Amino acid sequence: MKDLTYLLLLTTCILSAAVRIATTAEPAANKSAVPADGTAVWELWLPPNGMPVRAVLVCPRWGDGWRMAKLAQEHLGAKLGVGTMLSRRDGDILDQFKDPAFVASITNCLATSAVKLNHPELANVPLLIWAHSNAAWYLQNTLKIMPERVAAYCLFKSAFGKNNDLGILSKDAVAAFGLSIWDENDRIGKGYDNPREKKLMLDNLAAVRKQGALVHVTLVRGTHHLIDGQEKLMLAFFESAIAMRIPLNANPAKGPVKLIGDLEKFGWVQDESSRKVHAQDHYPAGKDPRRGWWLPSRKYAELWNAYARNAKGTVVGDTRKIMSP
């Protein structure tokens, strides 16, 4: 009996150690695989040293999902208390993205992990959504099902214009910060018409911008369909959202977090005709600021302009020339 007890204890220790081991190619920190109702299996990484989780970045394992998860853990984890969720493939991943149950699996995973990992804040923690390519479908469902929990979202190289169709947004969805990174050199397959899809993407996002959505587009000229120089911009974008939308005194361990809204008047907007970026309260008289892309701050706007002008993120010229006042 003693031998059996010892064997069980030893096996438990080995398994416990195994879930904390991650390959060098993927994020590493408190890795915990959590099944979620058969729609997906999520792997969750928490910030180090048991620090409270302030937000969770959701990255489906599609395209460069694992890479974005690693970036978030390296640059946002210990710095801002950001955890990361990465889905494992299970069946037809594209069908999963279209299924509202995929979104439900996110909250199921967090609720389960809140108890399993002794981090009660996970049950209510705000979300940052990263959607690569066709993963945009799950973002559309997330904004419909639980917009009150989404602080910000990034559509990364969602090449087909229809992927960027967010439809009619609720008040909570309008308040979420949005970034779309579109690659003008994207060639995802035979017959893909980049100019046509680009126009459809711009039209779709302009439509939600007219609703007041706090969204902007970055047109880049990369080398392929994956992350290739946009890391700094995406990280800065999510940092801005955390700083501006999540209250400093928020305590998700005690209940849902009321994200800060009504921030449109505090942002910066790019004039659609002159390309100059104006503080919202200094926007040219007679012009509608909702016809331009919305940016969260001057500091971020300067960085964004550098990316918009040079796909690799290299600063070109004097960014002060485009800032007004």
How do residues 57-101 score in pLDDT, each as one tens digit? 999 888 888 899 999 999 999 999 999 998 876 455 667 788 888
Six-digit token string for 200? 């459809």
pLDDT digits (tens, 9 = 90+) for 212-243: 999 999 888 777 888 888 899 999 999 999 99
Arithmetic mean of pLDDT over the chain: 81
Nearest CA to 215 among 165, 168, 153? 153
| Residues above pLDDT 90, as percent of the chain | 44
Residue 44's identity, in one-letter code, is L
**DSSP H or E segment with residue 45:** strand 40-45
Contact 119, 52 (CB under 8 A): yes
**What is residue 100's predicted lDDT score, i.e. its pLDDT?**
85
Q: Are strands 277-279 and 268-270 parallel, antiparallel or unpaired?
A: antiparallel
Residue 74 and residue 48: Cα distance in Å, rounded? 10
Parse the chain into domains and list their residue ranges: 29-262
pLDDT of amino acid 309: 60
**Which tens digits make up the pLDDT trace of 259-274?**
999 999 999 998 776 6
Consecutive H or E run containing 96? helix 93-98
Q: Which fold has domain 29-262?
A: Rossmann fold (3.40.50)
Higher pLDDT, 187 or 34: 187
Question: What pLDDT, on a 0 to 100 scale, did the predictor assign at position 93?
Answer: 66
Q: Which residue's entry shows tokens 């779309």?
A: 180
Question: What is the CB neighbour count within 10 angstroms for residue 112?
Answer: 18
Q: What is the pLDDT of residue 15?
A: 26
